[in-house]
Amino acid sequence: MTTQPALDDLFERRITYPDIETQARLARLIGLDEQKSRLTKILALLVNPAGLEDWARHHHPGAQALLDTVLRRPPLVILAGDVGSGKTELAETIGDAVARQERIDITLLPLSLSTRGQGRVGEMTQLLSAAFDYTIAEANRLKSVSGKARGAVILLVDEADALAQSREATQMHHEDRAGVNAFIRGIDRIANGKLPAAVIMCTNRLSSLDPAVRRRAAEVLSFARPSDDQRRFILTSRLESMGIGRVHIDQLVAATGAERGKRDYGFTFSDMTQRLLPSIVLDAYPSRAVEGARAVEVARTIAPTPPFRDGAPA
């Protein structure tokens, strides 16, 4: 006999939106406007399908068949892409935008797989089934018979590579397959119940996801490293007020980009915000002011995080 996982073991840092601190975190994300907007729309429709019907009555009366194909999409969105590019940050904060737009409360249930489900046989499957049971019970409570739900639930499966690896991978253990099946069953249960719930899955390796999981995704949103313009924006918005001028900003943009013959990738968003900017400040602190030429030198000593090559082994 195995025991059911306790609720506290299942989810970490449960967050309820609207939440003012989350709103600020979401606003700090750069270059993700397209992802933000699409994710907000998808989640808002799962919560309030009547919104689309109102829109259609107004603009396209008689378009019911088309509406169905939009509304019947499975409640799964995959955020895929490079390390440190804002996937987790967006997944953890987007609920605030939807809650404000739809004027309801939304609860995020973050299920972290990175440190779990690696032990006893059956653990992953049990964890997933319990997480979906809980999500579905919550969503059922919030569902309303007609029109708009009273609230909604987002189940976040971060670091999903651990879970939904291709069932075709030959080395895959029988138990992993059961985990994938439990996941697919959970998605289908939410869809069939027309519940105000959605699942967001984050992964570095889209290609390693099980095809049956990918097929169920209503959308796959991709995330990349910042472009020259986006790095320039981060640098200017943080360093201009410290007196760093155009010439040094240009050099910093170059120093944080790809370098011919040396590396074909530049800094990630997190390399910029969590490594470079603090290093520049701490280099000057406590005895000197931040200074352009020195900031460029600091940037040159930092090596960007290597990309997670999709398809390559971990």
Ligand X SMILES: Nc1ncnc2c1ncn2[C@@H]1O[C@H](COP(=O)(O)OP(=O)(O)OP(=O)(O)O)[C@@H](O)[C@H]1O
Stretch that binds ligand X, among 36-44, 52-60, 182-190, 270-278 (CB under 6 A): 270-278
At 52, list the tokens: 């689309």
Stretch that binds ligand X, among 162-170, 188-196, 236-244, 265-273 (CB under 6 A): 265-273
Q: Where are the alpha helices (DSSP H) in the chain?
A: 7-10, 20-28, 33-47, 50-59, 64-71, 87-102, 123-142, 174-192, 211-216, 228-239, 246-255, 269-270, 277-284, 292-301
**Cβ closer to ligand X: 79 or 98?**
79
Closest separation between CB of residue 158 and Mg ion, Å?
A: 6
Q: Is 153 exposed, middle or buried (0-12, 13-18, 19+ CB in 10 A)?
A: buried
89 binds ligand X (CB under 6 A): yes
88 binds Mg ion (CB under 5 A): yes
Query: Mask of contacts with ligand X, 155-194, x by CB under 6 A?
Result: ----------------------------------------
Stretch that binds Mg ion, among 62-70, 85-93, 184-192, 231-239 (CB under 5 A): 85-93
Stretch that binds Mg ion, among 88-96, 239-247, 271-279, 303-311 (CB under 5 A): 88-96
236 binds Mg ion (CB under 5 A): no
**Cβ closer to ligand X: 297 or 310?**
310
* Tally of residues, the chain: 314
269 binds ligand X (CB under 6 A): yes
Cα separation, 314 vs 309, whole angstroms: 9
Eight-class DSSP state of 258: -
**Cβ closer to ligand X: 32 or 162?**
32
CA 193-195-198 angle, 5° bins:
120
- Give the sign of the dihedral formed by CA 73, CA 185, CA 195, CA 90: negative
Q: Binder to ligand X among 83, 172, 212, 224 (CB under 6 A)? A: 83
**Cβ closer to ligand X: 85 or 135?**
85
Q: What are phi and psi of 223, to 5 degrees?
A: -125, 135
Q: Binder to ligand X among 5, 44, 87, 102 (CB under 6 A)? A: 87
305 binds Mg ion (CB under 5 A): no
Q: Among candidates 132, 102, 140, which has minimal Cα distance to 11?
A: 132
30 binds ligand X (CB under 6 A): yes
Interacting residues toward ligand X by CB under 6 A: 28-32, 83-89, 202, 204, 223, 269-270, 273-274
